Amino acid sequence: MSLMVWFRKHNRKIMAFVVIALMIVFTIEPMMNYFSSSRTGEGKLIAYYGDGKKISRQDVAMANQQIEILRMLGIESILRPEDPRLGSTQDLRIVLLGELIFPERSNAVESISRIKQIVSMDNYSVSDKQINGIYTKPHPASIYWLLLTREAHEAGVRTPIENAKSQLEMLLPRLNRGATYSQIISVIEKRNRVSEEQVLDAFSDMTSVIEYCRTICATENRTIQQVLNQTNLRRETIDVNYVVFGADTFANESFKPGADKMEEQFEKYKGNFAGEVSEDNPYGFGYKLPDRVCLEYIAVRLDDVASTVKPLAQQEVEEYYQQHLTQPPIAYTAYSDPNDPNSELVRKTRSYAEVASMISKGLYLQKVDSKAERILLDAKSITEANLSGIEAEQSKLTDEQIKKGSVDYAKVAAELSEKHKVKVYADRTGLLSSSDIQRDKNLSSLYAGGAGITESSLARVVFAVEQLKTSELGPMDVKVPRLYENIGLLKDARERTGDYAGANMMLVRIVAAEKAVEPKNINEKIDRHGVRFGQPDAAGEDSNTIRELVIGDLKRLAAMNKAKRIAREFAALAVKGGWDNAVDKLNRFYGKGKDDPNTIPGKGHTFTLNMRSGLRRISNLEIDDLMMRYEGNPMARVLIDGAKRESILVDKLYALVPEDSNTLARPGAIVEYQSGMCYYCLESMTIHRLYQEMFDITKAAEVVRDEFVDSQALAFIYYNPKNIVTRMKFVDLQERQGVAEPNSVPADNNRTDK
Read off the pLDDT of residues 650-674 as tens digits, 9 standing for 90 and up: 999 989 998 888 898 889 999 999 9
Q: Which pLDDT value is given to residue 189?
A: 85
Q: Is the pLDDT of residue 690 over 80?
A: no
Q: Which pLDDT value is given to residue 371?
A: 93
Report which of 301, 334, 270, 243 is spatially closest to residue 578, judged by C-alpha positions.
243
Q: Is the pLDDT of residue 599 over 50?
A: no
Strand pairing partners for 384?
A: none
Instruction: Give the containing element (helix H, strand E) for 141.
Output: helix 141-154
Mean pLDDT of all residues belonging to the chain: 83
Q: CB neighbours of 228 closer than 8 A, spacing ≥ 6? A: 695, 699
**Digit-coded pLDDT (tens) for 416-427:** 999 999 999 999
Q: Do 456 and 472 contact (CB within 8 A), yes or no?
A: no
Q: Give the three-state DSSP class for 477.
A: coil
Among the ranges given (260-269, 378-387, 490-499), the one the predictor scored with the smallest mean pLDDT: 490-499
Q: Which pLDDT value is given to residue 683?
A: 94
Q: Do 431 and 294 contact (CB within 8 A), yes or no?
A: yes
Q: Give the three-state DSSP class for 376.
A: helix
Q: Which pLDDT value is given to residue 106?
A: 53
Query: What percentage of the chain reaches a pLDDT higher than 70?
Result: 83
For 404-432, what is the mean pLDDT? 92
Bond into 387 cis (ω within 30): no
Q: Is the dihedral of CA 344, 349, 354, 355 positive or negative?
A: positive
The 3 state secondary structure assigned to 590-646 is: HCCCCCCCCCCCCCCCCCCCEEEEEECCCCHHHHHHHHHHCCCCCCHHHHHHHHHHH
**Residue 533, by phi and psi: left (phi above 0), alpha (psi -120 to 50) or beta?**
left
Q: Is the pLDDT of residue 742 over 80?
A: no
**Digit-coded pLDDT (tens) for 241-264:** 999 999 999 988 888 899 999 999
pTM (two decimals) = 0.79
Confidence of residue 484 (pLDDT cuts 50, 70, 90): very high
Q: Which pLDDT value is given to residue 62?
A: 93
**Residue 232, by phi and psi: left (phi above 0), alpha (psi -120 to 50) or beta?**
alpha
Between 703 and 331, name the one with better pLDDT: 331
Rounded Cα gap, residues 687 and 673, in angstroms: 19
CB atoms within 10 A of CB 556: 21
Q: Which pLDDT value is given to residue 747?
A: 39
Rounded Cα gap, residues 678 and 580, in angstroms: 20
Q: Which pLDDT value is given to residue 748?
A: 39
Strand pairing partners for 237?
A: 688
**Digit-coded pLDDT (tens) for 136-154:** 888 899 999 999 999 999 9
Query: What phi and psi, each to the nearest 5 degrees, are found at residue 672?
Result: -85, 125
Q: Which pLDDT value is given to residue 505?
A: 93
For 524-547, what is the mean pLDDT? 76
Q: Is the pLDDT of residue 754 over 70?
A: no
Q: Do 618 and 238 contact (CB within 8 A), yes or no?
A: no
**Digit-coded pLDDT (tens) for 41-86:** 556 888 888 888 888 999 999 999 999 999 888 888 888 888 777 6
Q: Which pLDDT value is given to residue 181?
A: 86
Query: What percentage of the chain reaches a pLDDT higher than 90?
Result: 41
Which ranges in 399-457 belong to alpha helices (H)?
399-405, 409-420, 434-439
Q: CB neighbours of 103 closer than 8 A, spacing ≥ 6? A: 135, 137, 141
Confidence of residue 539 (pLDDT cuts 50, 70, 90): very low
Question: In the sheet that 504-514 helps form, which strands lie side by side, from edge to edge?
Answer: 424-432, 292-301, 504-514, 487-492, 446-449, 455-457
Q: What is the dihedral of CA 376, 378, 384, 389, to 10 degrees?
A: 130
Q: Which pLDDT value is given to residue 435?
A: 93
Confidence of residue 676 (pLDDT cuts 50, 70, 90): very high
Q: Is the pLDDT of residue 746 over 50?
A: no
Rounded Cα gap, residues 630 and 120, in angstroms: 11
Between 393 and 649, name the one with better pLDDT: 649
Among the ranges given (220-229, 313-322, 574-583, 715-724), the one the predictor scored with the smallest mean pLDDT: 220-229
Confidence of residue 38 (pLDDT cuts 50, 70, 90): very low
Confidence of residue 744 (pLDDT cuts 50, 70, 90): very low
Q: Give the three-state DSSP class for 531.
A: coil
Q: Which pLDDT value is given to residue 76?
A: 85
Query: What phi and psi, each to the nearest 5 degrees, are found at residue 457?
Result: -65, 155
Q: From the centroid of its chain, how far is CA 169?
A: 39
Q: Is the pLDDT of residue 225 over 80?
A: no
Q: Using only the alpha carbons of the chain, give its radius of gyration.
A: 35
Q: Which pLDDT value is given to residue 541?
A: 54
Q: Do 522 and 266 contact (CB within 8 A), yes or no?
A: yes
Confidence of residue 544 (pLDDT cuts 50, 70, 90): confident
Q: Which pLDDT value is given to residue 738?
A: 45
Bond into 481 cis (ω within 30): no
Q: Which pLDDT value is given to residue 603?
A: 47
